[in-house]
Amino acid sequence: MDTIFALASAQGKAGVAVIRLSGPLAHEAAAALAGPDLPARGMRLRGLRDADGARLDEGVVLTFQGPSSFTGEDVAELQIHGSTASVNAVLHCLSDMDGLRMAEPGEFTRRALENGKMDLAQVEGLADLIDAETEAQRKQAQAVLAGELGQLAERWRRDLIRAASLLEAVIDFADEDVPTDVTPEVRGLVSGVMSDLKSEVAGVRIAERIRTGFEVAIVGPPNAGKSTLLNALAGREAAITSEYAGTTRDVIEVRMDLAGLPVTLLDTAGLRETSDHVEGLGIALARQRADNADLRVFLADGTEGLGIPFQPGDIHVLPKADLRDGTEDGISGKTGQGIDRLISQISCALSQRTATAGIATRERHRVAMKKALAALGDGLAVLESGADLYDIAAEELRTAIRALESLVGRIDVENLLDEIFASFCLGK
């Protein structure tokens, strides 16, 4: 196994940069730079020198001993001054050492996966955490990184292995007297897993939104003040505004953190009948994007005649409240009136939906769980058919187990069979 190294912190100027090494020569390589007698596991402040003894930098050397490390291998981390030149000098020295090479992207994490330090879902959670920009994303990524999906999948797997082993027992001892009918217990185990799976599958779409962001479209007739509102929400001049009806044509997207939720606001063309070809294209695009958005804010006196259906949860507000007499519940992009209330309305509407988010966060998870569900449904149907097709039912359960194992990247049929027979004791 190669020893790999890479800059683990971000490129560029910083107070501190972290260079990470992992593999059998990690400690030896750290000692070549920082001097001998590094602890197997600990921290030292040392001068770092190149092969000729010239000083490179001074830094903190952390050593971890496998398997108690991120990758499961021997690991060393060098915390040095975060300048491009210092980092390059140390990386250069490391690449000159025998048996060391620069790590591929994600290679430390891949080793962690291969050494059983994390499962595949946790690897995905780690990637999400690194990408997280808002509080909701951070919390969701932390749950996945903590292994919650793996634990859930493990529980399902145990139940299904138990169910499969009950069926196997009937098959293997078909000639003998099997004292009890296993069908009720198998049915109970399988339907329990199926109901969990259904709610997780239903929650993936919204969990995926938390991960990638919600789209909120601002719609209304021309000159309603949509672009002015977008700018007020974004806190910058993201869109052109003017007194000319039909100013906005393309969809303008502004990504923001809205009370902890990742939201992309869409400013769209004013909706009306028009003979202007280009404006018509903009209006068609506006309708399409608004239809597909997670939420629509209608900036209009009424929502009729705009050609976009008002969907449950959508928000309707009266524009240009500053020009109206005695309207307290409208908004004004110009004066800021009602903007805070609009923000909390949007975040409320979206947070209500996030309550149904599950632990599974990706299409990959959804596909695997759907596959498991289908197999379990088939297995139950076979069982209920009354024909003694236990082997076929057991095969469906095994298909479901394999699909669930792919959630966490563990597909090992041998292991599954071992467990089936180890967990099952007929007692005779």
Ligand X SMILES: Nc1nc2c(ncn2[C@@H]2O[C@H](COP(=O)(O)OP(=O)(O)OP(=O)(O)O)[C@@H](O)[C@H]2O)c(=O)[nH]1
For residue 272, the minimal CB distance to K ion (Å) is 12
Which DSSP letter does residue 394 get? H
CB under 5 to 8 A by kind: which of K ion, Mg ion, ligand X, none does 372 bind?
A: none
**Spatial distance between the Cα atoms of 80 and 21, rounded to a whole number of angstroms:** 14
274 binds K ion (CB under 5 A): no
**Spatial distance between the Cα atoms of 3 and 102, rounded to a whole number of angstroms:** 9
For residue 193, the minimal CB distance to ligand X (Å) is 51
CB under 5 to 8 A by kind: which of K ion, ligand X, Mg ion, none does 332 bind?
A: ligand X
Residues 6+ apart with CB under 8 A from 428: none
Nearer to Mg ion, 221 or 379 (CB): 221
Burial class of 222 by CB neighbour count within 10 A (0 to 12, 13 to 18, 19+): middle
Nearer to Mg ion, 262 or 282 (CB): 282
Nearer to Mg ion, 211 or 226 (CB): 226
Q: Which residue is nearest to ligand X (CB)?
A: 270
The token pair at 43 is: 């921290």
Contacts with Mg ion by CB under 5 A lie at 226-227, 247-248
Q: What's the per-residue H, E or C state across 32-84?
A: HHHCCCCCCCEEEEEEEECCCCCEEEEEEEEEECCCCCCCCCCEEEEEEEECH
Binders in 195-254 for ligand X, by CB under 6 A: 222-228, 241-243, 245-248
The reply to whether 224 sits in an annotated binding site is yes
270 binds ligand X (CB under 6 A): yes
The token pair at 1 is: 């196994």
The reply to whether 228 sits in an annotated binding site is yes
Binders in 229-248 for K ion, by CB under 5 A: 247
The reply to whether 428 sits in an annotated binding site is yes
Question: How far, in Å, are 2, 156, 193, 218 from residue 376 at the CA level?
Answer: 43, 12, 9, 43
CB under 5 to 8 A by kind: which of K ion, Mg ion, ligand X, none does 79 bind?
A: none
Nearer to ligand X, 175 or 243 (CB): 243
For residue 245, the minimal CB distance to K ion (Å) is 6
In this structure, which amino acid lies at residue 403?
A
Q: Which residues pair with 266 in a beta bridge?
A: 217, 253
**Spatial distance between the Cα atoms of 372 and 374, rounded to a whole number of angstroms:** 6
The reply to whether 391 sits in an annotated binding site is no
For residue 282, the minimal CB distance to ligand X (Å) is 9
Give residues in contact with ligand X (CB under 6 A): 222-228, 241-243, 245-248, 269-270, 320, 322-323, 332-334
